[in-house]
Amino acid sequence: MRRRGNQDIRGLEGVVTFFGSHHALRAEKVLLAAGFRAVLVPGPREISPNCGVALRFDFQAGEQVAAILEEGLVQYEALHHHPE
């Protein structure tokens, strides 16, 4: 079991990358309010050098996650499949 603080990230194989940390914080708030699991994590440098913060999510819900972020006017770089 892998954890970030008290957050269990097991099964969260998707990563959203951002251009700034404030977008990552907003994305977490929007996704949690919509009932999705979302965990802020250090941004994997092999995926994106832009922001030091990324967000883990269930990759199988990628289309829904993208739609919710767009509806919430959250700016993000990309959604990636990135299992740990």
For the chain, what are the domain ranges?
3-47+60-81
Q: Could you report the per-residue pLDDT of 9-38, keeping only the tens digit for each?
A: 787 899 999 999 999 999 999 999 999 999
Task: Please determine, for residue 2, whether its predicted confidence score (pLDDT) is greater than 50.
Answer: no
**pLDDT value, residue 56:** 95
- Under a CB-based contact definition with an 8 Å cutoff, are residues 76 and 23 in contact? yes
Task: Please determine, for residue 6, whether its predicted confidence score (pLDDT) is greater than 60.
Answer: no
Task: Please determine, for residue 59, whether its predicted confidence score (pLDDT) is greater than 60.
Answer: yes
CA distances from 5 to 10, 67, 68 (A): 13, 28, 25
